[in-house]
Amino acid sequence: MSSIPMSPVIEAIKQSYQTHINPRPKVATKIYIACSGGRDSMALLFACQQLQLPIHVIHINHKLQKISDNWQQFVEAYCHKHRIDYDSVCIDWQSQQVYAADSTISHEQQVGTQQVNEQQVNEQQARTARYHAIIQIAGENAIVALAHHANDQVETLLMNLCQGTGLAGLTGMTAFGVQHEFGKPIWLWRPLLGVTRDEISDFVAAQHIPYIDDPTNFGVANQRAFLRNQILPLLDERFHKVVQNITRTQQNLTEAQRIVEEQYQQDLALCQWSNGWTSHQQCLHIPNLTSLSQARRFNLLHHWVKGSQKFAPTRQLILQIEQLLQLAQTDQQAILQWQGIEIRKYRDTLYRLDADYVKAIHGKSDYRVLTNLAADVELSVGLSLGLSLASRAVLPNESFQLLSQSFHQSFKKLCQRFDIPSWERQFAKVVIMHDNKEKVLTASQTPPRFALLLPNISVWLADASELNLATQALCPWQLVWTDSLISKCH
């Protein structure tokens, strides 16, 4: 280690590695460096190489500039010279496909594509394609090192500020954190966030690190370049060390964000109902929710609606939910839609239905509901029945006689009695005793009914009175799905 050059770059990477990577030995066996060939990523690559970290380079050729192939060849030549494992990935924008070479030291993937104008591909499209390519190479839970530095952090804050953002948008990028792309988690490591662009330039010059300048970094063609080349120099001229000052402000905002997150968790614990029969439906207790101050309620709804979505909901949507909470009719249902999810109100409960569940209740996805119930269903009284059971859907206009009652009630009335909203009622099942295991039951047959399975609750019927069952029990099944919506017995 004595031969390693001392610099803010080296020190930042060493400290960040010890803080974030060392505690995770299972995923630290290989670090994938996203290297464009520019000054920042080459400085990161060189420093990690000097520190003898287990690195593997990934270069993404976006095919957006005439010199894109030159960048790819430059990175490959450097890796080949220094015996660094690498992969080159080319993006074909015409077919919107990503082609990745096999993981090897010297293998090169050549993909013929028609040149695409950079203005035709926006920053979000390029980012999506880039992460898709990285996941193809690195796989799930891989550590991907990015060369974002303090100036990038400041530029991001200014961009978010100019476009209108919340507290999270002002805290900027994190030094280390998990990110879900295309449903797969990867760890993003940014060890240079505390290092300025000037410090990186000094390191590159002192160590004679080769790199290629990206022409888009100059001029004012895009927003980031405009802030970098026009605005930040003016601010730095008027306010000394503006990058360091804004970075300090971001650190303060990050601490404030943590406090807000802690408050959110406390408020969520106060207001959240049990999710019931499916984790794809979240519930908030409206009386507890409305007891919060307006600011805390807004913060809770903002985080709760967002869930695992990539982008946060708009302020207008939260205000619409606030209006929804004020509806006086207890049974009135209203629906708000956002990014495939639905927000619904039924009586004293606010529901958040995720996109898969929304498709299911609207009949737009393939699924099957409970078709049989295991013979050893565990009952709330602790009794395990050795019966052969089957189930069927609720028949139109069907009524039911509950235990200890001498009259029948319609299915709708029973659902209202047990606070089952209309969209859940289609999943209700009638459990029946089945004497012949080989016999297939149809809806037209009428064997003795055993129980009515509603989401969250099992309602035992009069036919089962001789079994000395409790009138009600927790529902023994849940609605879950993997690739498609499936209802399984638990």
pLDDT at residue 483 greater than cutoff 60: no
pLDDT digits (tens, 9 = 90+) for 264-285: 999 999 999 876 677 888 999 9
Task: Please answer whether residues 75 and 46 qualify as being in contact, where contact means their C-beta atoms are separated by less than 8 angstroms.
Answer: no
pLDDT digits (tens, 9 = 90+) for 23-46: 888 878 999 999 999 999 999 999
Candidate from 218-222, 438-442, 445-449 with smallest mean pLDDT:
438-442
pLDDT digits (tens, 9 = 90+) for 270-327: 999 876 677 888 999 999 999 999 999 999 999 999 988 878 899 999 999 999 998 7
Return the SS3 of 206.
helix
- Alpha-helical (H) ranges within 208-354 are 223-226, 232-238, 242-271, 286-290, 294-306, 315-325
Most confident of 25-39, 70-84, 166-180, 377-391: 70-84
pLDDT at residue 16 greater than cutoff 60: yes
| Averaged pLDDT, 217-243 | 85
Residue 37 assigned to a binding site: yes
| Averaged pLDDT, 340-350 | 92
Q: CA 370, CA 394: separation in Å to the nearest integer?
A: 12
Task: Please answer whether residues 284 and 201 qualify as being in contact, where contact means their C-beta atoms are separated by less than 8 angstroms.
Answer: no
Whose tokens are 């990523």? That residue is: 41
- Say what the pTM is: 0.73
Residue 38 assigned to a binding site: yes
Look up residue 18 and give its two tokens. 């010890």
Q: CA 474, CA 145: separation in Å to the nearest integer?
A: 48
Q: How many CB atoms lie within 10 A of CB 219?
A: 12
Beta-strand relationship, 184-189 and 143-145: parallel
Q: CA 282, CA 302: separation in Å to the nearest integer?
A: 14
Q: What is the average pLDDT score of the chain?
A: 80
pLDDT > 70 fraction of the chain, expressed in percent and rounded:
75
Cα–Cα separations (whole angstroms), residue 254 to 124, 169, 196, 261: 24, 10, 19, 10
**What is the predicted pLDDT for the residue at 122?**
61
Beta-strand relationship, 477-481 and 485-489: antiparallel
pLDDT digits (tens, 9 = 90+) for 86-134: 999 888 765 544 444 443 333 333 333 334 444 445 667 777 888 888 8
The larger pLDDT score, comparing residue 77 to residue 347, is at 77
Long-range contacts for 376-384 (Cβ within 8 Å, ≥24 apart)? Answer: 377/476, 377/489, 378/476, 379/469, 379/470, 379/473, 379/476, 380/470, 380/472, 380/473, 380/474, 381/468, 381/469, 381/470, 381/473, 383/467, 383/469
pLDDT at residue 473 greater than cutoff 60: yes
Task: Please answer whether residues 79 and 57 qualify as being in contact, where contact means their C-beta atoms are separated by less than 8 angstroms.
Answer: yes
Candidate from 123-127, 138-142, 362-366 with smallest mean pLDDT:
362-366
| Averaged pLDDT, 234-244 | 90
pLDDT at residue 200 greater than cutoff 60: yes
Convert 296-330 to b/e letters by CB count within 10 Å (16 or more is b): bbbbbbbbbbbeeeeebbeeebbeebeebeeeeee
pLDDT > 90 fraction of the chain, expressed in percent and rounded:
43
Candidate from 85-89, 140-144, 438-442 with smallest mean pLDDT:
438-442
Residue 41 assigned to a binding site: yes
